[in-house]
Structures are given as structure tokens and as C-alpha cells.
Amino acid sequence: MASIKMIEHDGTEHEVAIEDGKSLMELATDNAVPGIDADCGGDCACGTCHVIVGDKWFPNTGVANNDEQQMLDMTPERASTSRLACQIKITEAMDGMVVRLPEFQM
């Protein structure tokens, strides 16, 4: 099974099966991974789907556009590989990807 691993701030791991075409945010909320609020429903307008992508996988997630950069900028826990999960499109090629969740969503 192709899957992605999401690790909560306290270390709890969630392995979720890849579903092509969904966003990472949808994948997380559909699988009830806690800590992704997604208040704006995936419109890149709330910043509450923040994830930190594993270094190795970061280039595979595409490039954050201007809107996303601006929203990420308001997150105190922003790291160099931060992304908004609603802006990452899932593909089969992400099998094995690891992302960490911040302690808080803003």
C-alpha cells in the first residue's frame, strides 16, 4: 500500500494510504489525523493546515506560490520546509513521504 506518514508534535504517528488527486489536507482530515483544522476548507486562506515536510521530500511537493508564502509567514512555527497541506497535491510518487505537524496551528 502506498502511504504517507504524518507525525504529530508529541510523536504520535499516522500512516495514511495515498489517494491520487486529493490534497494532503484532505487526506489528513478524511483520515481524522488530529491537528489539521483547515478552517477555510482548502482555499489557502487560513493557514491552519500547516505541515513541515521532511527535508528529502520537500522538492517533491512542488513550489509554494505567493499567497501561500504570505500565509506561512504569519505562522510562528514556520520552518524552512513548511507548506500548507491544502496546497500539496498527492501523487503515487509520494509513497513513503514523511511530514511533521507543528505544535499549534495559528
Least Å distance between CB 5 and other proteins? 24
Q: Is 48 in the site for ligand FES (CB under 6 A)?
A: yes
DSSP 8-class letter at 23:
B
* C-alpha distances out from residue 34 to 37, 75, 91, 93, Å: 8, 18, 22, 24
Least Å distance between CB 84 and ligand FES? 4
Residue 2 binds which entry of ligand FES, other proteins, none, CB below 5-8 Å type-dependent: none
Site size for ligand FES (CB under 6 A): 15
Q: Which of 46, 53, 84, 101 binds other proteins (CB under 8 A)?
A: 46
Pairing of strands 13-17, 50-53: unpaired
All cell numbers assigned to 73: 509567514
Return phi, psi of residue 40, to 5°.
-95, 5
Q: Which residues of the shown chain bind ligand FES in the complex (CB under 6 A)?
A: 25, 38-40, 42-49, 71, 84, 86
